[in-house]
Amino acid sequence: FLPTIYAITPTYRRAVQKAELTRLSNTFRLVPSFHWIVVEDSNARTELVSRFLARSGLQYTHLYVPTPRRYKRPGMPRATEQRNAALGWLRTHRSPKDSGVVFFADDDNTYSVELFDEMRTTQRVSVWPVGLVGGRRYERPLVDKGRVVGWYTGWKANRPFPIDMAGFAVNLQVVLRSPRALFKRLGSKPGMQESDFLKQITRVDELEPRAANCTQVLVWHTRTEKVNLGNERWKDSVQIEV
């Protein structure tokens, strides 16, 4: 019997969206006992994402919430409303008898299937390295005798939890027991999303290191190049979904 992994993916319409979702779903299909919570940054569920999920073969929940226009600016944290909508869904649709692990899976990262084996046993909050992030090859928690004792990070090392969104998972019951733990808009500074959230639910000394005491990279903070549509001078004569 395996606790369900709830992967929360905020996503928004752009040229590469379906390609990103395809890459993700092909990984997630290899993960047993998996539930994908996809939250569109939009005013409604789009046809593209609805059809995509229906054909994916995955167990999923399809939500949407638009980011207010004033927050769509450089330097503003992304996908705050979408992650919070997913947390709200879990709090209303799951109960103390459900066992699960919650993970924030952005749509452009690269996930190893083994990562999900590692996070499956999360009791409270587990952590691991993330590759290609923070202006260096990797960031990771530093572990001594099974405890997190510090951080190897290239950026804003004095954050309470200097870790990327892809670097931790939370037991479902921790999410349910802390009903007010959410991602912050007001007062949140760039790069503080993870810290603002984690300090509401845990302490550094109780983090559970995974991935061989945080010595293996099983997830990469890849970013997809913006596509060149420079030759799109005329509208496609035949409209097909891309």
Q: Is 107 in the site for ligand UDP (CB under 6 A)?
A: yes
Q: Is 153 in the site for ligand UDP (CB under 6 A)?
A: no
Residues annotated in a binding site: 10-12, 41, 78, 83, 106-108, 221-223
Q: Is 79 in the site for ligand UDP (CB under 6 A)?
A: yes
In the set 20, 40, 194, 208, the catalytic residue is 194
Pick the binder of ligand UDP from 80, 82, 84, 173 (CB under 6 A). Answer: 82
| Distance of closest approach, residue 106 Cβ to Mn ion, in angstroms | 5
Report 182-241 residues binding Mn ion (CB under 5 A): none
Q: 194 catalytic, yes or no?
A: yes
**How do 4-11 and 100-104 pair as beta strands?**
parallel
**How do 168-171 and 100-104 pair as beta strands?**
antiparallel
- On the 0-12 / 13-18 / 19+ scale of CB atoms within 10 A, 10 is buried
- On the 0-12 / 13-18 / 19+ scale of CB atoms within 10 A, 80 is buried
Q: Is 106 in the site for Mn ion (CB under 5 A)?
A: yes
DSSP string, 145-203: TTEEEEEE-SS-TTSSS---GGGEEEEHHHHHH-TT-----TTPPTT-HHHHHHTTT--
Short-list 6, 25, 168, CA closest to 90: 6
Q: Is 223 in the site for ligand UDP (CB under 6 A)?
A: yes
Q: Is 108 in the site for Mn ion (CB under 5 A)?
A: yes
Q: Is 194 in the site for ligand UDP (CB under 6 A)?
A: no
Residue 196 interacts with, from Mn ion, ligand UDP, none (CB under 5-8 Å by kind): none
Using CB under 6 A as the criterion, what x/- string covers residues 23-42 for binding ligand UDP? ------------------x-
Residues with catalytic function: 194
